[in-house]
Amino acid sequence: MECKEKKRAATTIAAGNTSEACKTRSREPQSKNDNKIVGFILLDDQPICVVENVGFQRLVEHLEPRYQLPNRHAISDTLIPLKYKQVSNFISERLENAASVSFTTDI
């Protein structure tokens, strides 16, 4: 963050307006939180629209006021495909290095 942005963010926070400060923060914490939200949706079989629920939005706002929750379109169009690619690459790497693989199905 450049000095001007830091100063503006500090002034904005001091004035009680955190929405402007949110725009000047780095993408790293945003990306980590986005990843956790996607993990929550995928691991717990939650509907993508859970991010539009007022109660969920209030919870996230309470836990991390600076975090900007992605909308359902960003999750379905960008974040889930990115997670799919990451997991697919991880599995492919593991399978390439495996000495043997066994699959079991239950019919």
pLDDT tens, 13-43? 444 444 444 444 456 789 999 999 999 999 9
Is 50 part of any domain? yes
User: Domain range holding 60?
Assistant: 27-96
pTM over 0.85: no
Token pair recorded at residue 93: 């790497």
Q: Strand locations in 17-99, DSSP E?
A: none
Is 63 part of any domain? yes
102 has pLDDT over 70: yes
73 has pLDDT over 90: yes
Q: For residue 68, what are the contacts with CB-CB under 8 A and spacing of at least 6?
A: 22, 30
Query: What mean pLDDT do residues 3-14 have?
Result: 46
Domain count across the chain: 1
pLDDT at 26: 54
